[in-house]
Amino acid sequence: MTRACEGRNLAARACVDQSVTPETPLRILVPTLVLAALLGCSDKPAAQLSWDFQPHLTSGEVRVLPVLDLTDGLDVRYDSYVTEHVPRWRVVLRQQRIEEAATVPAEVTRALPGALNAELRDSWDGRFRTGRYPVGSRDRLATSLRSEHRVDDALSDVARRAEGDAVLLTWVEELDTEPLTTLGFPGDLIETVAGPVYVDLVQEHHRVWATVGVALVDHNGEVVMRLTRDVESVISLRVDAPHAARAMAAEIAHDMVLVWPDARRLAPYEVASR
């Protein structure tokens, strides 16, 4: 068994956990060893890593399945930086932001294929298409993700029964918001991941945090890639949920392509093994 390998890249960590036996195909063994040599090894157990990656070439038609929202919902904040209860008209604005934030999980899933294509460019010859969960598999996967029990088995079951050459699955484990008007006076400058933002009672900017999980699984049920990523953005009267979700999806895609199994990197090993 190869050791759990931890990348030194600040943006992400990759874990390679590939059983090596005399029967291990060269096309799998060679990229595994190359990745281990490039990333360096750590004695940390694989369970502590937020990445799981198997060097397996995936192409063809990848079906993008609807997001699994595992969150408990969002609540409206009634306090501000100076008062415990804001006026009714501001409560209405905050309710609008909450309703928009609730659509962020689905919007991230919708934006992710485009973000991946923008990062991969011509290095990957696959294509994304909308897919759907086989009957009963969605609930089983949600149960496995919530309990963190036999997650890969549930992912594999979905992929074996779904259409296409592979499936791209996303789920949101946590979702939370915070009005910037709870952090400062009107006109104050607040630093966010989207840049500095002025506190504005009319815009009622909300900071949005999400913990997003993504998995790429081929039609044989092999979990090619699985990761969890914390992302953040800001929504307001001028910046809607789809815009914020595109920024989140771009961050996730940037991490995914670090170990995306594309033809440019893995095809030479496929040829060498023939």
The model's pLDDT over 36-94, given as tens digits with 9 standing for 90+, comes to 443 444 343 333 334 454 545 566 899 999 999 999 989 999 999 988 999 999 999 99
The CA angle 100-168-229, to the nearest 5 degrees, is: 60
Q: With b meaning 16 or more CB within 10 Å and e meaning fewer, what string describes 216-245?
A: bbbbeebbbbbbbbebbbbbbeebebbbbb
Q: Where are the domains of the chain?
A: 1-55, 58-259
pLDDT of residue 57: 52
CATH number for the segment(s) 58-259: 3.40.50
pLDDT confidence of residue 28: 35
Task: Find, among 50, 32, 54, the residue nearest to 41 by Cα.
Answer: 32
| Under 8 Å between Cβ of 214 and 227 | yes
Mean of the pLDDT values across residues 132-143? Answer: 94
Phi and psi at 132, nearest 5°, equal -145, 155
Instruction: Please give the mean pLDDT across all residues of the chain.
Output: 80
Amino acid found at 169: L
pLDDT in tens, 185-202: 999 999 998 899 999 999
pLDDT tens readout for residues 9-22? 323 333 333 333 44
Radius of gyration over every alpha carbon of the chain, rounded to an integer in angstroms: 21
